[in-house]
Structure 1
């Protein structure tokens, strides 16, 4: 029994020696491969002596991606530009229509100012006043508003001075009288006020 135990111990010792030798050989191989990889990286060459070049497919993909990005940016700019042009065209069209309606408003005001006090109860005159008020309400609804003039300081951006008068009761560059009412559409002037300026 002792002999058998000794033989088994010898066998296990030999087996462990063989395993250790195999492990050392594997470690040596891995170190050699690492060294060769680092040498290849330093020299800039891959296996089989090929240089580091981009694949033609990758170059084509990059080129097409770049073209697509540029075209999308151009389209976005075109869309923004056309939207801006459309809104400007709408503004111009709206101002043109308002300019054509304003003489009708002027005639309504002149006609209603000419009515005598005793005739104001006439149903026809009252009907005309209602039509005039409705017209003015509609214009206000589309952001058309009259420019304030009398008693205001003269502003060349809003008023058109056609007369000048010396008046001690009024300050310098104050509007004394309005001959024709001016109107604004949103933030732009459709028609300047025709005014007389004092001092």
Structure 2
């Protein structure tokens, strides 16, 4: 038989152990919750950093892809001037020799633009108007279909998949219906006579 005093000591020890276990359980729960909190914060920061890295890669890729955009925009008016000169017709032999040189320079410029990914998006005459690559400067009446390119005023260019300058075009438009012709004086007299006779008969 265990003495009563020893039972009390055992009971007190068990209570102390239970209290310590409860305290340790609370501390463990608090520590686990804090670990979860920091783990979640870590994942959020990691995800933000990963998104920022991907965004920076996209931005850099876009910058590299369209790096020549400003240069191309400045080069287009020069190409337009060369094209105007080359479209000129003349019988002067000296001028013809200059035009051969201009043609050579013009081709070189086009090759440089091609190497940078620039495409000429100028439509052919009779092509359907496309608002994505064309800008209509004017319209002309036509007997045929509406919204067809009648004339090209300026060539259009695209760098990779981005439009640098739309083609400036003139677009067809249906002729308005012609009004009924004005009656001649003789027809007016006949109509008046018919009206008078109807009134007289009534």
Verify: 1:48 aligned to 2:37, yes or no: no
Q: Distance in 1 between matches of 2:78 and 2:116?
A: 17
2 CA distance for matches of 1:191 and 1:63?
Answer: 53
CA distance in 1, matches of 2:152, 2:165: 13
Q: Distance in 2 between matches of 1:142 and 1:119?
A: 35
Answering whether residue 163 of structure 2 is matched by residue 189 of structure 1, we say yes
Q: Displacement of 1:122 after TM fit?
A: 5.3
Match of 1:85 in 2: 59
Q: 1:104 maps to what in 2?
A: 78
Deviation at 1:191, TM superposition (A): 0.9
SS at match of 1:178: strand
Q: Secondary structure at the match of 1:103?
A: helix
State the partner residue of 1:94. 68
In 2: Cα distance, 1:57 partner to 1:119 partner: 94
Q: 1:151 to 1:75 in 2, by over 3 A?
A: same
1:167 and 2:139 matched: no
Contact 1:175 1:197 in 2 (8 A): yes
Supply the RMSD in Å over aligned alpha carbons. 2.8
Secondary structure of 2:68's aligned partner: helix
Consecutive unaligned residues in structure 2, runs of 5 or more: 1-15, 174-202
Deviation per CA, 1:50-96, whole angstroms, max 9, x where unpaired?
A: 23341766555444433322221111111122233334445665322
Structure 1: runs of 5 or more not aligned: 1-46
Equivalent residue for 1:155?
130
Larger Rg belongs to: 1
> 1: CA distance between counterparts of 2:62 and 2:90?
45
1:103-142 map, 5 Å: 103-116=77-90, 119=93, 124-142=98-116
Aligned counterparts of 2:126 and 2:87: Cα–Cα separation in 1: 21
Q: Which whole-Å CA distance do the structure 1 matches of 2:91 and 2:120 have between them?
A: 25
Local SS of the residue matching 2:87:
helix
Q: Distance in 1 between matches of 2:163 and 2:45?
A: 39
- Residue 167 to residue 56, structure 1, CA distance change in 2 (3 Å): closer
Cα pair distance change 1:129/1:57, threshold 3 Å: same
